[in-house]
């Protein structure tokens, strides 16, 4: 099942996507909520009803009073417009190893010992469309090609062996990054904040695990949980700059969920990203380019750039970079000491 949130009469409307048409959930069956937040809260009570409606639509039947709306005719939102939280993991060893190699430091052994994550600004989640950036964001503005999941039922102290049952579905994630802000603040060892908190993009739809069963592959040796052979690409202004695969995740989402839920309640609506796939950002690509050629010209996102991320089975997430009409700079506010 493919679930989409779109803007309808100034609020978020949940719909099932079939053959390019959107069908509003509450019009398919009166028991189905009309927004993703309630759908996730009621997941175990409504998921079978939604699956039956989805199966009917795929069979050419239109249950209830639902009429199809062309998906291209609406303004898509994030599939989960109001996440209860947003964590981002660090699952791809290739990306971590390349980034450290480019900085001429050894691979950190802790990566292979346990999965890690950080919290980002769940109020800055957005879907397809314009990404509004301040002047300081354009000081090495970057994309990050990732996948993401959403939690569909509450839990605590969940083991990796059972964690896949808590995953409602999968989405594309673009963890936007302002690298100069990020690198400056991380010198103080509190992790990324202003470098990351202005926009995290997810979408264009939430795809439930049953849609992806044909892509299942074994987890890496010594790891537990579902893994999927899904090609990942990113284009900037129509030119492909990144290519990877979800199957290259070293830490599975199940293992990341296990760590997230240790001693903590995870909630329906919690979004968790995979971390950047290998080659999945300009920071890594520029570092590799300069390592191989000192005269390599770095590339960063600019106003007007169009970023298209595609993951097989999860759709294409498209955004345009927009510069805010201001010269306000927090980098200029640094104290001289």
- For range 29-50, the mean pLDDT: 98
pLDDT band at residue 99 using 50, 70 and 90 as cut-offs: confident
User: What are the strands, taking DSSP E only, across 152-238?
Assistant: 155-156, 167-175, 177-178, 200-207, 216-217, 227-228, 231-236
- Torsion-angle region of 205 (φ positive above 0: left; ψ -120 to 50: alpha; else: beta): beta
Mean of the per-residue pLDDT values of the chain: 96
pLDDT tens across 158-205, in order? 999 999 999 999 999 999 999 999 999 999 998 889 999 999 999 999
| pLDDT for position 159 | 98
Q: E strand or H helix at 272, and its extent?
A: strand 270-273
| pTM of the complete model | 0.97
pLDDT reading at 290 higher than 80? yes
- Alpha helices (runs of H) in the chain, residue ranges in sequence order: 25-28, 36-41, 43-58, 93-102, 160-163, 179-185, 253-260, 282-292
Percent of the chain with pLDDT over 70: 100
pLDDT tens across 223-235, in order? 999 999 999 999 9
Structure tokens at 225: 């949980």
CB atoms within 10 A of CB 58: 12
Q: Which residues pair with 118 in a beta bridge?
A: 88
Distance CA(169)–CA(4), nearest Å, equals: 12
Q: Which of 22, 115, 29 is nearest to 68 (CA)?
A: 22
- Asked if 22 and 57 count as a contact pair (C-beta separation under 8 A), the reply is no
Distance CA(279)–CA(276), nearest Å, equals: 8
| pLDDT for position 133 | 98
- Asked if 282 and 96 count as a contact pair (C-beta separation under 8 A), the reply is no
Q: What is the DSSP letter of 211?
A: G
| pLDDT for position 140 | 98
């Amino acid at each position: 099942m493919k679930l989409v949130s779109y803007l309808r009469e100034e609020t978020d409307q949940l719909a099932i996507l079939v053959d390019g048409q959107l069908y509003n959930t509450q019009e398919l069956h009166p028991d189905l909520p009309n927004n993703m937040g309630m759908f996730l809260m009621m997941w175990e009570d409504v998921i079978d009803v939604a699956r039956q409606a989805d199966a009917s639509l795929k069979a050419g039947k239109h249950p209830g009073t639902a009429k199809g709306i062309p998906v291209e005719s609406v303004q898509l939102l994030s599939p989960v417009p109001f996440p209860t939280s947003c964590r981002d993991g660090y699952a791809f060893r290739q990306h971590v190893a390349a980034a450290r190699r480019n900085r001429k430091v050894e691979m950190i052994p802790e990566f292979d010992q346990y999965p890690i994550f950080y919290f980002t600004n769940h109020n800055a989640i957005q879907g397809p469309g314009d990404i509004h950036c301040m002047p300081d964001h354009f000081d090495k503005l970057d994309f990050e090609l990732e996948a993401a999941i959403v939690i569909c039922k509450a839990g605590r102290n969940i083991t990796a062996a059972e964690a896949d049952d808590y995953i409602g579905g999968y989405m594309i994630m673009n963890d936007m990054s302002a690298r100069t802000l990020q690198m400056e603040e991380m010198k103080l060892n509190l992790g990324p904040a202003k470098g990351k908190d202005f926009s995290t993009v997810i979408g264009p739809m939430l795809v439930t695990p049953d849609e992806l069963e044909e892509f299942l592959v074994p987890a890496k040796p010594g790891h537990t949980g579902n893994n999927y052979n899904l090609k990942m690409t990113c284009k900037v202004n129509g030119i492909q700059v990144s290519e990877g695969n979800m199957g290259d995740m070293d830490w599975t989402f199940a293992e990341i969920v296990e760590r997230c839920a240790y001693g903590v309640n995870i909630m329906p609506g919690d979004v968790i990203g995979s971390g950047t796939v290998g080659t999945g950002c300009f920071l890594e690509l520029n570092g590799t380019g300069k390592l191989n050629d000192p005269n390599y010209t770095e590339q960063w996102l600019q106003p007007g750039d169009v970023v298209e991320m595609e993951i097989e089975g999860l759709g294409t997430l498209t955004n345009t970079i927009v510069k805010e009409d201001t010269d306000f700079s927090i980098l200029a506010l640094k104290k001289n000491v």
